[in-house]
Amino acid sequence: MGRFRGSSSTVLKPKTTQQVSQILKWCNDRRIPVVPQGGNTGLVGGSVPVKDELILSLSNMNKVRDFDPVSGILVADAGCILQSLTDYVAPHNHIMPIDLGAKGSCQIGGNVSTNAGGLRLLRYGSLHGTVLGLEVVLPDGTILDQLTTLRKDNTGYDIKQLFIGAEGTLGIITGVSILTPPAPQASNNVILALPSFKNVLPLYQTVKRQLSEILSAFEFIDRTAYDLAVKHGQGRALSDEDIEGAECFVLVETSGGKREHDEEKLSTLLESLLEAETPLINTGVLSQSPAQFSSLWALREGVTEAVSKEGKPYKYDISVPLSSFQDVVDGTREHLRSKGLLHDKAVKHVLGYGHVGDGNLHLNIVADSYLPEIQDALEPYIYEVVSSYRGSISAEHGIGHQKTHALHYSKDHVSINLMKKIKNVLDPNGIMNPGKVLE
């Protein structure tokens, strides 16, 4: 997005955990602040130096340490790129439990530090469940070795959980032990056009019941997002006739162990949806080939790129109750209209898409250019809306540098006080990634 510019005069690229330990000890003794950096693909400025901190890059720690094909447990250096780990486990018929757009550059240590969500969360759960162990260098250089490969270990407090999502403010993750699921033998998808957003929830219930354990994605795209994706060449799945009168779209993906069984379940679902007395959908298109499968996904995944091509995006990654998705998008549009900001020279589009199964809405506001009055109209407005639903102001992107001032919309003062106490216990000199997460 190009919204963050950092500057730092020093970048260190240690090759071993021992070196990370020596660097942190040295820095801690001298009160020199450190910003850990992985693939630098975050969206909230979590890995950007704000005051000439030393940058510690994990890029040179990029070896797989161990993989057990029976249990599927992988132990890797923090600097391993997600895609390379995916490639590593593939010949053993396993997949990584996370997948996200930035997989070609993001690193597993950064994924864990930011508690990355992504496209597989619905199926495989969050990293709090799939990460089995961590090796972390604490700010004073002490190495915390909890790099266990055990699925079950109830021996005291699960300290490693604190580092999952701490965005590098409590220590530097140097090694990750993670459970990789068996690779599905078949994947299918279908795109459904819905006459009204009101149908999304009953549709989700029906799909969950019928597809059960093979459901691997249930993604929502509103009409504006769809039109922009198509406009900017991100796949064209449906005919003009198909999309007539569609208020939004849902992409359903299945992943399972036997293609024929999965296809039968998906066809039965589509038939029952189309033949219902009061159909929840206008139409649905099943992918018939790997190319079509990818092209349906391109529609959903391409929204990000389409939005960037269309203008300057303001991006909000929020969790709100499923039933309020459309109200939040429409409400934001009306709010901007009421401020006189909804026109060609200010905000061009307000759109929503995201992971229905996770309650995660990506709310995008596409402007002609970044303007202070737009920013002022959006914040704290959106945060207040989220707070009124007891939602999350950052479902998966984190707090970073960008949202520290807004943390209180999702966490009350008791929680924030506890976070500060924990920060103080682990990093009393405040050298770890200052200005991130907590103000």
Site for a copy of itself in 150-209 (CB under 8 A): 150-159, 161-162, 164-166, 170, 182, 184-185, 201, 204-205, 208-209
The residue among 38, 321, 303 whose CA lies nearest residue 174 is 38
Least distance to a copy of itself, CB of residue 384, Å = 15
Binding residues among 349-378 for a copy of itself as defined by CB under 8 A? 355, 357-360
**Two tokens at 313?**
């995006």
Least Cβ distance, residue 232 to a copy of itself (angstroms): 27
Q: How far apart are CA 79 and CA 39, in angstroms?
A: 8
**Dist CA 79 CA 58 (whole Å):** 5
Rounded Cα distance between 272 and 109, Å, is 44
For residue 137 the two structure tokens come to 């260098």
Task: Tell me if 138 sits within 8 A of 144, measured CB to CB.
Answer: yes
What one-letter code names the amino acid at 422?
A: I
84 binds a copy of itself (CB under 8 A): no
Task: Choose between 328 and 407: whose C-beta lies nearer to a copy of itself.
Answer: 407
Subset of residues 241 to 260 that bind a copy of itself, contact rule: CB under 8 A: 255-258
Say if residues 104 and 136 touch (Cβ distance below 8 Å): no
The C-alpha atoms of residue 364 and residue 29 are separated, in whole angstroms, by: 44
Task: Tell me: does residue 134 bind a copy of itself (CB under 8 A).
Answer: no
Residue whose CB is less far from a copy of itself, 300 or 423: 423
3-state secondary structure 392-427: ECCCCCCCCCCCHHHHHHCCCHHHHHHHHHHHHHHC
Q: Which is nearer to a copy of itself, 72 or 311 (CB)?
A: 72
CB of 149 vs a copy of itself, minimal distance in Å: 8
Written as six digits, the tokens of 417 are 């006080």
Q: Least CB distance from residue 300 to a copy of itself, whole Å?
A: 17
Residue 141 in tokens: 């250089």
Question: Min. distance of Cβ 399 from a copy of itself in angstroms?
Answer: 6
CB 259 within 8 A of CB 186: yes
**List 410, 431, 433, 435, residue binding a copy of itself (CB under 8 A):** 410
Q: How many residues bind a copy of itself (CB under 8 A)?
A: 93
Query: Min. distance of Cβ 98 from a copy of itself in angstroms?
Result: 12
Binding of residue 126 to a copy of itself (CB under 8 A): yes
Binders of a copy of itself among residues 6 to 35 (CB under 8 A) are: none
Q: Which positions from 282 through 321 interact with a copy of itself, judged by CB under 8 A? A: 319, 321
Distance of closest approach, residue 203 Cβ to a copy of itself, in angstroms: 10
